[in-house]
Amino acid sequence: MSGFLAFCDEYKDEDTCIKALADLRWPGGFVCEKCKGIKAYHLAARPRIFECVACGHQHSITAGTVFHKTRTDLRKWFLAAYLIGHDKRGVSAMFISRELGLRYDTAWLMCHKLRHALTEGTDFKLDDYVEIDEAFYGGRKQKGNRGRAQTGGKAMVVCAVEKRPVVGTHKGIGGQGYIAGGANIAVLPNASAVELGGFIRTVVKPGTWIISDGFKGYARLGEYKHIPIVQGAGANAGVTMPIVHKIFSNIKTWLNGTYHGVSTKHLPRYLREWSYRFNRRGLIADLDHYLLRRAASKFTVTYAELVAGMKAEGAT
């Protein structure tokens, strides 16, 4: 049996969640970080603490994870991870607050901490044929030609997505015979050759065919097979690069529909969530466990850092 009820049965109380977190922290069994001892007491009075038998050093099961110093039941964290991982539309902090009986600010913080854990590894790189373009999100609507400058509080988002040929009778996106493979998306400070080139080299394998518009920011890609397309009017972008523009459309619909718009300072984390779930859309049944595994290995972000708008590091 799988699904929400099975997940609730698997993580039925605080003790089972502590055991699951211990298994994620020490998959080969407990190892003391101080003396390398392999036996520990599980303290009954402080159930999130394991004490090394050899040296007495105490280990918090939540230290070094997104659950660090949380006073919220771990079961509610696990259920939040399930809900975030299993709904492709995402879930809002208001929904988590209502369903798990939490204060809104607590649910908001939990959601952002879980998103914080969702960074793609550097070994996950796009290849074959990749469409790349930029779009703007948020801020005031601009009149006339906005160019590539970030004005009016807008955030510049760049997306790279694999262009995969259709198998079977499906006509593909835009009827062109291709569908999306993996994707990677990030917020960049500007559209310079340095920023765009750095993003591409981080997320795309050398030797890959790069399909972009004719913007000069994509001009210095010597290690790639670059196909610049001069598309003329902006309305042609969806025809010349239909996959990346479909993704931009879907992301904006998701952000404005599920969350009714998000602040640009928090946008990188929402894009992490979208990218992580999109790239594992064939593994949705197990996504809660992947998310919990990431949460157990990623050090937390604090409320103060979130409010200050600490930028999510790295590409998503």
Q: Which domains does the chain have, with CATH numbers?
A: 4-116 (no CATH), 129-278 (3.30.420)
Cα torsion 89, 92, 95, 96 to 10°: value is 110
Entry pTM: 0.84
- d(CA 162, CA 133) in angstroms, rounded, equals 12
Percentages helix, strand, coil for the chain (3-state, rounded to 5) are 40, 15, 45
290 burial level (CB within 10 Å; 0-12, 13-18, 19+): middle
Alpha-carbon distances, residue 274 vs 115, 141, 279, 294, 313 (angstroms):
9, 24, 9, 15, 16
- How far CA 292 is from CA of 21, 69, 152, in Å, comes to 8, 17, 37
Q: Are 127 and 162 in contact, with CB atoms under 8 Å apart?
A: yes
Report the pLDDT value the prediction gives residue 230, as an integer from 0 to 100: 72
Which long-range contacts does 51-56 make (Cβ < 8 Å, 24+ apart)?
A: none
Structure tokens at 40: 């520990």
Distances (CA, A) of 56 to 153, 170, 238, 256: 53, 62, 63, 51
Strands 49-52 and 40-42: what pairing? antiparallel
How far from 152 is each of 131, 142, 149, 174, 263, CA to CA, in Å?
Answer: 27, 8, 10, 32, 13
pLDDT tens digit at each of 316 positions of the chain: 568 899 999 999 999 999 999 999 999 999 999 999 999 999 999 999 999 999 999 999 999 999 999 999 999 999 999 998 888 788 999 999 999 999 999 999 999 999 988 876 666 899 999 999 999 998 665 555 445 555 567 899 999 999 999 887 778 887 788 899 999 999 999 989 999 999 999 999 999 999 998 888 888 888 999 988 876 555 555 567 899 999 999 999 999 988 988 888 899 999 989 988 899 888 877 888 888 999 998 888 888 888 887 544 444 4
The predicted pLDDT at position 314 comes to: 44
H or E element: which one contains 74?
Answer: helix 74-86
- Residue 163's φ and ψ, nearest 5 degrees, are -105, 105
d(CA 162, CA 156): 20
